[in-house]
Structure 1
Amino acid sequence: MPAPHAVPFRLVPALGLFALGWFALAAPWLLGQVTIPWDAKAHWYPHLVFAARALHAAASPAWTPNIFAGSTEIADPQSVLFSAPLLALAALMPKPGLTAMDWAVFAMLFAGGTGVILLFRDRGWHWGGSLVAALAFAFGAAAAWRIQHLSQVFSLCWWPLAWWLLARALDRRSILWGIAAGLAAALMVLGRDQVAMLCAYLLAATIIAHWASAERPLREVRATLAPLVAAAVAGALVVTVPVLMSALWGAESNRVVIDEIGAGRGSLHPGHLLTWVVGNLYGAAGPLAEHWGPPSPTWGETGLFLARNMGNLYAGALPLLLVLGLLRTGAAFDREIRFVTIALAVMLLYALGWYTPAFRLFWHLPGVDLFRRPADAVFVVGGLFAILAGYGAHRLLTGTLATGWRVEALVAAALVTLASALIVAKGAPQAAWMNLAVAVCSIAAALLVLGPGRRLPAMALATVLAVVLTADLRLTNGPSESTALPPASYDVLEPGSTDPALALIRSLTVRDATRRDRVELIGLGYEWQNAAMSHDLEDVLGFNPVRSAAYANLVGAEDIAALPGQRRFPPAFPSYRGELADILGLRYVVSRVPPNDIDKRLAPDALPLVGEAGGVRIYENTRALPRVWVAPTAMATPPDLATAGFPSGLDPRRTVLVEGEVPPPRQPGGTARLLAYGNTGVTVETTTADGGVLVLADAWHPWWSARIEGREVPIRRAFGLVRAVEVPSGTVTVTFTFEPLRGLARQVSERFSRP
């Protein structure tokens, strides 16, 4: 998309008007009337609270002891440590609230919209077009309907900023602008999600398009090489370590290999394309009983696995008609916008996944097989569609869009008729007709603006376009069950929560020189799953799609633990009365139902009820072991531990299962006590007559190191998932330290040194 020679518009008025529209649309969240729900709060918010607590206590947030018996935050793409807006919020606020987090999200959407405005300004396009594009970008399609997927929202918002900086670097052949572009692109890539990958491909395509459009392409390649190298170096300095960490963690994680069919199950259904016309056609806004879009029982077996709001493309009636006008007149393929039109078509093909033959070609691109939902491309489709619509507004405002809007009105009417027929054919809920009526009114209002309204002066017409679009987006893409719930729904996650069940859990759990009681929060509801991170409890479960494969296989930790039936009991953890529950120090099972309703092998009175508050019951496992102990003997971990379970009659206090060479037996007797316990450092004192094997019942990870009186010693993986160290006789101090950079370097070196 080459930059034309034109006078750029004044930036401050355009940003000011965008800020007014942004606040009008974001106000329900910014004022605390509602909060961004689901994954945004149940998953991301506890990670934010944990990071803030660690930073303001001068502790490291690189490792959390609060979920899955310990988990790496620094390598986890689902943590907040490499999300610039959330990490900044954690650094500024020791106890960030729900609304503060929503401010950070909408601030990023404002930044993304600002990037769009800057792109339009540098290209000499009308400021009114930039305003339409920015509003549709920030509050249209997936940016609105899937706002709870914070990482993808942030990746999308970095993209126009990186594009603007990259375009400046290429146009001006500037190393400084190249460095800035590389840094912005790196912040985008740090999302380590599919949207970031697709946007990275778009940035690469932008460079190729710039070269191809030059009068002398080879000369342009040479002229722009320096800023591009600067961008690559700057970006690599930021992303290399986090990406390597995530890659190595992914190899150790539960993440299964994704095949083409598995990815195809996350395709955008062709029926979703009608949501460009009728935003809430399929009842994605809720309640769930009104959802009838693919996949749902109404459509029968589709083979798809998508949430109800994943396929919504609505960005407003005005943008839709403007894009139709560009396509009908051929202006969508003019030299200055052709790249966006082609990119939009390619991204739409990608999103449709297995519904087009193109996905077989896409599947061979590097990185595509890492992700399981082509429909995630809807984020990028929405962004490109917004820019194309803004260009249509630019052509309208400059009097160069040659259409009377009759054909566009007929096309819109035909699409509405098709949606009506689908409602009848599928026997959709009555609410679908109301949603269709809203769409018809929005289209009619847009046609009034584009028809008689186009005779207004350009400034007045631009303002009317922005006002009508804002009202439209507020009506259709505004707060709904999918995107906004009362803050009270997630009160339990706030650091200052007064929930009585939390108070009871805190009063019961013991942390002393030997004990650090773990809990299992199971079946308490979607919002409770990562509550341990918010309140510095230590949970054997958690809520994260990426976790240690060994831990998941042995303990039965699934993605979610919102319902009692989501607790899996594998052979190594067959029951709350099994050895592994005791080894992990699982002292309390916290649920709304008796534990024998969860664990069918458990006798009704096996775990006594020790407290109840707010409908939450707490049951005690009195056999739970301390966090540290010294065992005199060891034996090799059976290779089939995950499938066969623990050896019969094993007493973990006397015999430790270890990987590798088995230490010789020692005389019984010995004590261990915790001298200090932090996120990334644990100090233990042991006293034995003949040495032994010290067990620290925290999750094993290759980036932990151990030292006895300052001398480094190997950490053995014990019982398949916790840490153990051989200790000598006498009284010694053992220090465990989480060293991710050193551990990363060691792993990378080992991989390169393999023949």
Structure 2
Amino acid sequence: MTPPGETARLRMGGVVAGAMLTLIALPLLRGQVYVYCDLAYGFLPMRSFFADCLAKGEDPSWCPNLFGGFFLTGEGGGTAHPWIRLLYSTLSLGPALNLELLVSYPSLLAGFIVLAMRWGMRRDAALFGALVFALGGYNMLHFMHMNVLAMLAHVPWLLLAIDVVMRAQDPRQVALARVFLSLLTASQLVLGHVQFAWISGVGEATYCLVLAWQVPGSARRLPGLAVSKALGILGGAVQIAPLWDSFRASKRVAPTAAFVAMGSLSPWNLIQWVAPYLTVSRVITPPMAIDSGVLPPAPSMFDWRVHEFSIYYGAAIPALLVWLASNRKGYDRLRPLILFAGIITVTGFVLALGDYTPLFRLTTKIPVVGGFRIPARYLVLFHLGVTILAAVAFSGLCGTSDRGERPSWRRLWPLALPPALSVLACLATRLPEGLWPSYMRGEFVAATPLVLAGPALIVVATGLVACAARGSRLALLALFVFIGADQTAYAFQLRNLIPPQTLAEYLAARPVPPGDTSVRIKFNQLRDTWHNAYMMKGLRTISGYAAMIPRQRLDYSKHASLRVAGVGWVMPSDDERGQPWIPLFGPLPRARLVTQTQRTDNPDRDIETIDVAMTALVSRDLPQPLPPGTPGVADLVGDRPGKIDVMTTTESKQLLVLSESIHRGWRVKVDGKTQPVLRVYGDFMGCLVPQGRHHVQFRFLPSSQRAGLWLSVLGLVLMTAVPFAPLWPRARPTAQADGEEVKPKLIGAPLARALQPAEDP
């Protein structure tokens, strides 16, 4: 029987969710795309290149437009994911980009609802928690990181699969859930952000241990669950292997201590819960040392720390958690879920503090994990734990209303704490110097109307929770509306700092240099975040914006280095006035022949001591010195991503120099015969060509990508076979007493039962 008022709350929650999803989808409906932060800097240009390659039937693994050539698959970002490939091979760039972003939110909503209802939580409470989880806090503020958002959309479903494995009684349900767990793990890893896969794994491991502790007999299923998780990791090798390949050749392979500590969450950020608009940027950003310099506090909404440090999930959350803490009875069935939520809330927050805690020194010693930057990203766990607790609290409020209970106002006195703390936090900015850090004064504090908006929201939200605690069904309905409006107002200001644009508007704002644009370009450091956009106009850069920035041995502020890279234009910095593009005279051809070489262990030093047009720097001695003579002719007859063809005509044996970044994945053939690829000028590649006319083929065929593909295929086979292996003898048809054959049961039946609320052990 449906409790009174539940249907109305479900409808209201559905309306709020629909309205918020519609707001997110407005660029799709208007023919625009989001161009804020990493969406404009990275995803849009790289997805444009990716879609273009798929349309032309080319391999998008190698992108020649960035860093003088770049292993795009090794960057991550999800280009190896079947869903991403389907999107960009069937839809145009704008709709595909919007759908890739949009789809994660319904998945987050549905996953949280199903997981909560499996624990027997009320439908309206599950929907309320899903609204807070999917359409608020971390997930709404990280819309610019599409692959991260997609990875987080896997988390509730991963927990659901673990739950079925640990608590289901039917062996077929357990086997199906193990397959589901493996597939989800592989899917999550192929999206390419290893740090969030690790954070998700921390949450999953915590959930497993809590269930093993709280559910009798479930601990014996941990080994099988671990095997399925391992097979899922094997299934993700198609992305893990290239990512590891790029990592070893990137600047991140040996991170500094300051780099790893960058993005540690200041404990002062807890103030956000009761004073969300206290500061200009809404978050507390103390000075942060980065190697040789110090980044000051940035009282601006454009600072990257705004979305990384935000822990505000709505003004109603503090009141809900206070009410839950003061009304702990009646949640026996949800006890393991509450315990899990409490653990990951505390764990996530402590880990997010980074170098503010001694624990940080231990985490930095974990291989690979110790090199992750921005510890504040552990707030994902904090966010999930808080939303589960908020859903439980809302469920308790609904139960109070259904039972017609009306506790006295005196019993609700703990609810006065959030408004009181909010007022104190705002007044504290006027305290004498020394009681607050210096970086939380002056222009760091927001305007008075915004500062006062925080206490006003907290008071209204607390009032609604108090009325709901006294049995008001209208207050419960109002909480749905309030939480949606509150989170929308908080998150959408960040989305609209740079309003969505059409692709034509985006490209029109980036003029190309005049004349020949076949040569490469270089950007000043101050504009480095935008230069990926120029690849959408066919330009190639010697630098770029990426996670796995390759280690370059040359200093590209030097004229000689720019010449061998084929750079013809330089864009000045924002503080330099005059012409927008500065021509660089003397860029060398993309493919050329030389007859003189010099061995070097330091190309950046020696490049200024030679005539780069006549002499090539090589990393090792050639088998035989090149004979003197006139350099021959090198005609570039094919230049596509990962496929470069050159016709050479020489009078003697010479060295072909190609200004394409060297990578261990490149292979070269001269007239069909394999030749070694030589490192030239430290960053580029070449090969020896004999006398006469020859066809030279450079092909990008990384072994990491091939090995990863075969390992993923093996993982897919094993992850579907291993869980069902113990059931194979039972699956054979048997004859009944009357001679009729028993029909095999459908797979969908045990899967449907697995999604039902689990019975108490």
Counterpart in 1 of 2:454? Answer: 439
**Which residue is 1:324 aligned to?**
322
Could you tell me how far 1:279 is from its partner in structure 2?
2.1
Cα pair 2:249 2:550 within 8 Å, conserved: yes
Paired with 2:286 and 2:417, the residues of 1 have a C-alpha distance of 24
What is the identity percentage for the equivalent residue pairs of Structure 1 and Structure 2?
A: 22
Task: Answer yes or no: is 1:409 the counterpart of 2:415.
Answer: yes
Matching of residue 666 in structure 1 with residue 665 in structure 2: no
Q: Which has the larger displacement, 736-745 or 307-316?
A: 736-745
Alignment of 1:173-572 (within 5 A): 173=171, 174-190=174-190, 191-216=192-217, 220-223=218-221, 225-226=223-224, 228-233=226-231, 235-255=232-252, 257-258=254-255, 262-284=259-281, 293-295=285-287, 307-330=305-328, 334-399=335-400, 406-425=412-431, 426-429=440-443, 431-454=446-469, 462-480=476-494, 484-488=497-501, 494=506, 497-499=507-509, 501-502=511-512, 505=514, 508-510=516-518, 517-522=519-524, 525=527, 528-549=530-551, 551=552, 553-556=553-556, 569=557
Mapped contact 1:708–1:735 kept (Cα < 8 A): yes
Give the secondary-structure state (helix, strand or coil) at the position aligned to 2:464.
helix
Cα distance, 1:483–1:366 mapped onto 2, change above 3 Å: farther
Of the candidates 577, 580, 602, which is equivalent to residue 617 of structure 1? 580
1:561 match: none
Question: Offset at 1:421?
Answer: 2.9
Q: Residues 91 and 34 (structure 1 numbering): CA distance in 2 closer, same or farther, change over 3 Å?
A: closer
- Equivalent in the alignment of 1:560: none
Give the whole-Å Cα distance in 2 for the aligned partners of 1:731 and 1:422.
80
Aligned to 2:658: 696
Contact 2:75 2:246 survives alignment (8 Å): yes
Flag structure 1 segments of 5+ consecutive residues without an equivalent. Answer: 1-5, 286-290, 511-516, 557-568, 599-614, 750-755
User: What is the Cα deviation at residue 223 of structure 1?
Assistant: 4.5
Q: 1:112 aligns with which of 105, 108, 111?
A: 108
Going from structure 1 to structure 2, the CA distance change for 1:339 and 1:124 (only over 3 Å counts) comes to: same
Report the Cα offset of residue 633 of structure 1: 2.6
Q: Distance in 2 between matches of 1:70 and 1:212?
A: 51
**Residues in 1 aligned to 2:451 and 2:580: alpha-carbon distance in whole angstroms:** 46
Q: Secondary structure at the match of 1:724?
A: strand
Q: Aligned partners of 1:456 and 1:155: how far apart in 2? A: 39
Q: Which structure would you say has the larger RCO, counting Cα contacts within 8 Å and 6 or more residues apart?
A: 2
Q: Which runs of 5+ in 2 are unaligned?
A: 299-303, 432-439, 712-761
Q: Does the Cα contact within 8 Å between 1:589 and 1:620 map onto a contact in 2?
A: yes
Code of the residue aligned with 2:581 in structure 1: it is: I
Counterpart contact for 1:631–1:668, Cα < 8 Å: no
Q: Displacement, 1:25? A: 5.0
Letter matched to residue 160 of structure 1: P
User: Which region of structure 1 is more displaced relative to structure 2, 316-325 or 714-723?
Assistant: 316-325
Partner of residue 57, structure 2:
58
Distance 1:370 1:20, change over 3 A: same
Question: Secondary structure of the equivalent of 2:75?
Answer: coil
Cα deviation for residue 725 of structure 1 reads 0.5
Task: Tell me the distance in 1 between the aligned counterparts of 2:592 and 2:288.
Answer: 52
Identify which range, 117-126 or 657-666, moves more after superposition.
Answer: 657-666
Q: Which residue of 1 aligns with 2:682?
A: 720
- Which position in structure 1 is the counterpart of 2:722? none
Could you tell me how far 1:705 is from its partner in structure 2? 0.5
Can you list the C-alpha shifts for 1:319-338, whole angstroms capped at 9, x where unaligned? 22112222333469934411
Sort the Cα spacing of 1:646 and 1:160 in 2 relative to 1 into closer, same or farther, 3 A. same
Q: Which is worse superposed, 424-433 or 621-630?
A: 424-433
Counterpart of 1:630 in 2: which secondary structure?
A: strand
Partner residue of 1:164 out of 136, 151, 160? 160
Q: Measure, in 1, the Cα distance between the counterparts of 2:177 and 2:102.
A: 26
Report the Cα offset of residue 316 of structure 1. Answer: 0.8
Give 1:39's aligned residue.
Answer: 38
Secondary structure of the structure 2 residue equivalent to 1:673: strand
Change (3 A) 1:526 1:628: closer
Shift of 1:743: 7.1
Q: CA deviation at 1:586?
A: 1.1
State the distance in 2 between where 1:88 and 1:424 align: 56
* Secondary structure in 1 matching 2:541: coil
C-alpha deviation, 1:735, in angstroms? 0.7
Is 41-50 or 412-421 further displaced after alignment?
Answer: 412-421
Q: 1:147 aligns with which of 143, 148, 153?
A: 143
Distance 2:705 2:285 in 1: 47
How many positions carry a matched residue from both structures?
671
Following superposition, the deviation at residue 152 of structure 1 comes to 2.9
* Residue pairs, 1:85-96, within 5 angstroms: 86-94=84-92, 96=93
Name which of structure 1's ranges 11-20 and 251-260 shifts more when overlaid on structure 2.
11-20
Distance in 2 between the 1:82 and 1:713 partners? 29
Question: In 1, Cα distance between the equivalents of 2:186 and 2:345?
Answer: 23
> Do the aligned partners of residues 248 and 385 (structure 1) sit closer, same or farther apart at CA in structure 2, a change above 3 Å counting?
same
CA contact (8 A) 1:266 1:304 kept: no
- Per the alignment, do residues 454 and 323 of structure 1 end up closer, same or farther by CA in structure 2, a change over 3 Å counting? closer
Does structure 1 residue 655 correspond to structure 2 residue 668? no
Moved more, 170-179 or 198-207: 170-179
C-alpha deviation, 1:379, in angstroms: 2.7
Q: Distance in 2 between matches of 1:449 and 1:518?
A: 60
* TM-score normalised according to structure 1 size: 0.81
The 1:128/1:679 distance shift into structure 2, 3 A limit, reads: same
What is the distance in 2 between the residues matched to 1:270 and 1:303?
17
1:525 to partner: Cα distance: 4.6
Deviation at 1:114, TM superposition (A): 1.6
The answer (yes or no) to whether the contact 1:683–1:735 under 8 Å persists in 2 is yes
1:740 matched residue in structure 2: 702
Secondary structure of the structure 1 residue equivalent to 2:427? helix
Match of 1:420, SS state, is helix
Q: CA 1:156–1:371 in structure 2 vs 1: closer, same or farther (change >3 Å)?
A: same
Aligned position for 1:565: none
When residues 435 and 408 of structure 1 are mapped into structure 2, their CA distance, relative to the original with a 3 A threshold, is farther
* Structure 2 residue aligned with 1:633: 596
Alpha carbons of structure 1 residues 308 and 471: separation in structure 2 relative to 1, 3 Å: closer
Q: Is the 8 Å Cα contact of residues 350 and 358 (structure 1) preserved in structure 2?
A: yes
Residue-by-residue CA offset, 1:610-644 (whole Å, 9 max, x unaligned)? xxxxx8633333311111111123221x22333x2
Assess, with a 3 A threshold, how the Cα gap between structure 1 residues 15 and 414 changes in structure 2: closer, same or farther. closer
What SS does the aligned partner of 1:197 have? Answer: helix
Distance between the aligned counterparts of 2:13 and 2:466, measured in 1?
Answer: 27
Pairwise CA distance, 1:222: 3.9
